[in-house]
Structure 1
Amino acid sequence: MITANAVTPQPAPTGNGCTTARAAMAVLMLAVAALAGCSPQPPYRERLYAFGTVVEVTLYGLDEARARAATEALHEKLRTWHRQWHPWQGDGLARINRALAAGRTTEVPPALSELIRRARRLEQASGERFSPGIGALVRLWGFDRGTALPKRPPPDTAIDAVLADSPRLADLELGDGTLRSDGTAVQIDLGAFAKGVAVNRALTLLREHGARAALVSMGGDIGAFGRPAERPWRIGIRAPRGEGLLAAATLEAGEVIFTSGDYERYFEHDGIRYHHLLDPASGRPARDTRSVTVIADDAALADAAATALFVAGPGEWQTVARDLGVRRVLLVDDNGGVHTTRAMLERIGFEQTPPPPLVEEATW
């Protein structure tokens, strides 16, 4: 079994739509080792570092030279995407944010324009629970500082001042190669979406290099294609409190599994946990949820949905999941209760004894 979110190394240096990018989680590749014995050719494994996190790559069907060339090509692409999409550093998205803050119209490369357009569509579909325009809030909270966690929350007056300007991607005007905003409050942070885009593109690149099957884990969020031993991939879902696994999930070829949790990047102040998953409506960490896991066939959608559903919480997750077109969801509320869909229950088995209480099962 592959265990997602098993260990916690360095957090990502960029934000994540509603928050900084989910903290890096290395993957314990147990299932891959087990499957290797059933495969005529052993897998090729490589560990890379990109987007501020550990990236685990496992390839089947390539000899060592071709596999090494594929992973080297992937690593170079990951570094390029990170430079282009970093919200505060460099001349890609960071340049656009500087122009927005100054009230200037700025040029936008076609590839980056398409990412912003899709992020804006997901923002709208999620009812703005996923809202990559709140980069100013991310910076205010201090979740943009790499491994350095904040010590205390920012003043309420500072949070409310940012919220008063209602930053959101819907305020942007995307023209033919240009971008502008009526206000200066919008700061674009694609972190809760960019890692998913990167996983999608990584899988495409590895397929183009001839891999018969591949698995990419980026900070514990996983995408795969192919079946290395004529069986589905098995992925462990980390328990959001304590050690061990909450559940094991079956991942079919071409699917991804993404998780957002309040345990990934947080600090405590006066006995209260403040995590990086910010609610765009309140400007503060979303409450009532410990973790959300999504299985889908599109990593960018799964990435954004995991954040949006975390923010939506136990009361609204079903509505948001339907609006986003996500069928396989596992939400753990702040009491440890499970809210899930029937489609997700068909894919998972709980690993805890006794299993967590099933509070809600959506019949779709």
Structure 2
Amino acid sequence: MNIKVSPKTIDVVATTNFTTAEDVKRWIKTKAQALGFADCGFLSVHHPLFTKQMQQLQRWLDKGYEGQLQFMHNNHDLRAHPEQLVQGAKTIISVRMDYLTQAPTPRAIDDNNRPNSGIIARYARGRDYHKTMRGRLKQLALQIESMLPEWQHLAIGAETPFIFRPFSDSAPIFERPIADAAGLGWTGKHTLLLNKQAGSFFVLGELFLSLELPDDKPITAHCGSCSACIDICPTQAIVAPHELNAAACISYLTIEHDGAIDTKYRRAIGNRVFGCDDCQLICPWNRYAKLTTVEDFAPRHQLDNSSLLELWQWQEADFLQYTQGSPLRRTGYVNFLRNIAIGLGNANASTEIIAHLTSKLNVHGDMLDEHIDWAIDEQREKLIIIKH
């Protein structure tokens, strides 16, 4: 349901002289940054990019790169016509929010140096950012609403009932292309958004609203001849510049994929139990990545420093407790164990690991047992090599 608020008639103390719509945009950007957003850009709901993106999406789907992401086949009318998603909306404010709490070693995959640790993607170690993002976007909208009387002379729709709706990965929206077109960065060869001053360790959100504000301009891409992200991908999921086979991506496999993971990917998954940061860690632009100012991204329950065996010993009650309000809840308990079993199979050779793996056999079903058996075989093979 769209949110409608009638313009307030109370006096508002002006903090600046608003003579153009660009003045309004600058004011909004300042308020967005005060709420913890690193930057924001503006784009019309009628921008021509949506038609182009629909064509690209259909070509991507035709190649079968979506895996089990069946929702990508739905709501194409809303993707192509975002004005239908929020009736009365004229402008999309695209925002980004930094999430790193510790700067990684530039152009290195330190995660590989800890084979017995359970690696969780950096965005997912704290609270689920989606609620944080939407909550702060709502705060931004309410601040905008309070200024409508100051802007009624600007012919941007401030005199009409105000409509807004915040999103964060929560609707059929071309999130990254919108941010690209709105000037928040350019699309890297790994298909993530890159920013010259901040790399790519940020999440995106959108605020649809009824004000009619001028579009921002896209920026020039700066990947050049670099192919570091393509070369480093453990499963070779980046099949070409700007083209991702999601069905082979570790982030998809460990989060979205339900059921057995193909054996051809298991060794490549390594110790990553929820998501994968490799293509970002290796990117030279992430030497400029910024640390977050948002407390919700702070790691909880030592999710930035947990061993695979510690995570393996979580019972379902532990999983539900420790993942409350966390992105990790998305995998479900058994799929989370599946991911950890793969990690344990890839860990350093250890009879202790075999014993712990064996303890969960015949407990959670055939799918998990199959991964446990695979992990035990991997461990035994490594132990035999050590003995010889």
TM-score by length of 1: 0.27
- Which structure has greater helix proportion? 2
Q: Indicate the structure whose relative CO is greater, using CA pairs within 8 Å and at least 6 residues apart.
A: 2
- Which structure has greater strand proportion? 1
